[in-house]
Every structure is written in C-alpha cells, then in structure tokens.
C-alpha cells in the first residue's frame, strides 16, 4: 500500500540571537531533507542576527520586544496571535531566551520544541556549557525536547553526546555542541513532520523506529 507523504509542516521559529540553528533548518528544507515551510521567524530582540538570515531567504521575520509588555503572559499572548495568524503548526525555539508561560504552552501543547546545549536534565538554564565545564563532567551534549512547564524540562525527542576534553574552554566545547545541535534539530522536526512522534507522559515514542543496537558505550578519557 502506498502511503501519501504528509504535507510540509508549517513552522514558526522563535529566536533571540545568531540563528545558526534556524539556518540549518532553512538549509534542510532547501535541500529536501525536511518537508517544512517556515511561516514566520520571531525574535524578542531587534538586533538578533537570525532576523537578517530569515529575510535573506525571503522568510517573514518580526520583532516582538518583550520589554513592551506588562508581564510574561501578555508577551506570550502576542506571540500566540502572531503564530496563529500565520497558521503555524509547530513552534521551534532556536536560541529563544525567554521562558514560555502557560499561555503559549496551552495554545501549542505538544507542538513546541526547544533545544538545550546539555544532556537534559543536567545543567538547565543559561550557561549550560560553563556549568558542564565547572562540574567536570566527561560527557555533555545537547537535547531536543517538547516544551512543558519548567526550565529546559520536557519530553525528550533526541540527544547527542559530546565528550569534554581536558583542555576545553567554553568556546571550544560550545562549538562542538553547536555542531551536534545542527545535526539533531532538523532530524527532530523531520520526525514530527512524518507524524512519528507520540508523547506519552514524559516519554516520546518514535513510530517505525529501529533502535540502533550498534552504538556501543562511550568511555572518556579512554584508558591509556
Ligand atoms: C544554542 O546553543 C541553543 O542550544 C541555545 O541557544 C543557542 C542558540 O544558538 N538554546 P543559535 O542562535 O541557533 O546559533
């Protein structure tokens, strides 16, 4: 039986900064790896480099400055309105430095993704890379999850592991984590577009998924 491919998923991307994750999503769409359409990019900061990236690619890009609102809920109501008026199905937070209130979470329950530069639930909040270095972990990484109430805490979709090396400084480690983010974010969105993600409480099940049994386990540092 031939199953017709699902239509492209309509995305709204929320950013606050450079937007390199936004760029990988744009690239994945352009090369056909991801069936999606970015309907709108919103930044809470007018200076975010990601706005310019979006415009260069002909994508609608808007600033909604959180400082113009009395509180988080009022700001979120403006976000919901903009996203809904662009018929956004899936909200992708890509370096969006604002905590979402129940106003956003309820409007898009199970339809908001975020990415965090650590292996959740480790090192939530800002400075995740610095926290990992200060703690002395041998592995860190990045996580894509569905946003729920709480900071960097929600059902996990995909994680990538990154080793921490003795001589790493924050910039070096952050760069290696970033590279992994760019691999896993488009993949998580693709699984969503294909209708393969099923949220069951804290757990995300992936339909028609063959677990990789050849991953092995990682040891860092390797014994001499
Ligand atoms: C990423 O490290 C992401 O994990 C965090 O913010 C950063 C955004 O980077 N939430 P960019 O703006 O996509 O380059």
Could you give all domains of the chain from N- to C-terminal order, each with its CATH number? 8-109 (3.40.50.170), 114-207 (3.40.50.170)
Read off the pLDDT band of 215 (50, 70, 90). confident
Considering only CA atoms, which of 165, 105, 97, 169 is closest in space to residue 137? Answer: 165
pLDDT in tens, 108-160: 999 999 999 999 999 999 999 999 999 999 999 999 999 998 889 999 999 99
Ligand 1, atom 9: nearest CA belongs to which residue? 95
Give, in degrees to the nearest 5, the angle at Cα 94 between 76 and 71.
20
Q: What is the mean pLDDT of the chain?
A: 96
What is the per-residue pLDDT across 48-76, written as a single tens digit (0 to 9) for each? 999 999 999 999 999 999 999 999 999 99
- Is any ligand 1 atom within 6 A of the Cβ of residue 19? yes
- pLDDT, residue 154, reads 96
Span 18-44, average pLDDT: 98
Please give the number of the atom of ligand 1 that sits closest to the Cα of 129: 2
pLDDT at residue 1 greater than cutoff 70: no
Q: With a 6 A CB cut-off, is 12 part of the ligand 1 pocket?
A: no
Q: Which atom of ligand 1 is nearest to the CA of 116?
A: 4
Would you say residue 30 has pLDDT above 90? Answer: yes
209 is catalytic: no
103 in the Ramachandran plot: left (φ > 0), alpha (ψ -120 to 50) or beta? Answer: alpha
- Confidence (pLDDT) at 59: 98
Q: pLDDT band for 224, please (50, 70, 90 cuts).
A: confident
Tens of pLDDT, residue by residue over 174-185, are 999 999 999 999
Cβ(33) – ligand 1 distance below 6 Å: no
Among residues 120, 106, 132, 101, the alpha carbon closest in space to that of 158 is found at: 120
């Amino acid at each position: 039986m031939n199953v017709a491919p699902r239509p492209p998923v309509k995305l709204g991307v929320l950013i606050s900064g450079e937007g390199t994750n936004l760029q990988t999503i744009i690239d994945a769409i352009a090369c056909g790896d991801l069936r999606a359409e970015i309907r709108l990019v919103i930044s809470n900061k007018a200076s975010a480099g990601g706005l310019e990236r979006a415009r260069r690619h002909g994508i609608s890009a808007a600033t909604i400055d959180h400082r113009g609102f009395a509180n988080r809920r009022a700001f979120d109501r403006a976000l919901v309105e903009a996203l809904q008026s662009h018929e956004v199905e899936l909200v992708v937070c890509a370096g969006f430095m604002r905590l979402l209130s129940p106003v956003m979470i309820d409007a898009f329950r199970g339809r908001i993704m975020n990415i965090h530069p650590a292996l959740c639930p480790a090192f939530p909040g800002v400075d995740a890379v610095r926290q990992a270095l200060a703690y002395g972990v041998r592995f860190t990484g990045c996580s894509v999850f569905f946003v729920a109430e709480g900071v960097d805490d929600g059902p996990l979709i995909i994680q990538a592991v990154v080793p921490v090396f003795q001589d790493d400084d924050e910039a070096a480690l952050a760069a290696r984590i970033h590279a992994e983010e760019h691999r896993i974010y488009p993949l998580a969105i693709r699984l969503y577009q294909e209708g393969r993600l099923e949220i069951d409480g804290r757990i995300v099940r992936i339909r028609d998924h063959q677990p990789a049994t050849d991953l092995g386990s990682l040891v860092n540092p390797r014994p001499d």
